[in-house]
């Protein structure tokens, strides 16, 4: 799965290019996020606006990616589409992550 990485100010923006984070790609996705957060600024923002479907294994891989980040560093999310948003809300993970309406709004709030 393709994930594009850009450092914008103090934020590393990771844009997911695939439309599904499901059991077929969850492990590869987690490994890729881990590699891309290595040596990143303190705030990493995952832009999910292209993702139209996520299942529990995809959700687990995002939670795992956040747990892998060292203390004091943050994984934020942006651009949740309705089906992705539903999975975060129903599992209460919407309370755990900082979620921005879009990556543009998120960058602005992070002072970018």
Partner 1 sequence: MAASTQPLRNRAPIRSRYILRLRLGSDEYAIRHGLKQIRTHAARNGADCTVLGKIEIVLAEVLNNIAEHAYADHAQVGPIDITCTASPDSFRFAVLDRGAPPPADVLRARPMPETYHPDSPLPEGGFGWHLITTLSVRLTFARKHGCNCLRFAVPITRDTMCPKDGE
| Conformation bin of residue 61: beta by default, left when phi > 0, alpha when psi is -120 to 50 | alpha
- The minimum distance between CB 112 and partner 1, in angstroms, equals 25
Site for partner 1 in 68-97 (CB under 8 A): 82-83, 85-87, 89-92, 95-96
CB atoms within 10 A of CB 1: 16
Of 8, 17, 24, 28, the one binding partner 1 (CB under 8 A) is 24
Residues that bind partner 1 (CB under 8 A): 20, 22-24, 53, 55-57, 59-61, 63-64, 66-67, 82-83, 85-87, 89-92, 95-96
């Amino acid at each position: 799965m393709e994930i594009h990485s850009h450092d914008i100010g103090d934020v590393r923006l990771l844009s997911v290019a695939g439309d599904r984070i499901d059991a077929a790609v969850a492990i590869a996705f987690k490994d890729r996020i881990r590699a891309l957060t290595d040596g990143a600024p303190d705030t990493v923002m995952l832009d999910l606006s292209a993702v139209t479907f996520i299942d529990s294994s995809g959700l687990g891989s995002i939670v795992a990616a956040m747990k892998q980040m060292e203390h004091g560093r943050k994984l934020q999310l942006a651009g949740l589409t309705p089906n992705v948003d539903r999975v975060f809300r129903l599992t209460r993970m919407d309370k755990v992550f900082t979620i921005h309406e879009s990556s543009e709004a998120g960058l602005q709030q992070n002072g970018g």
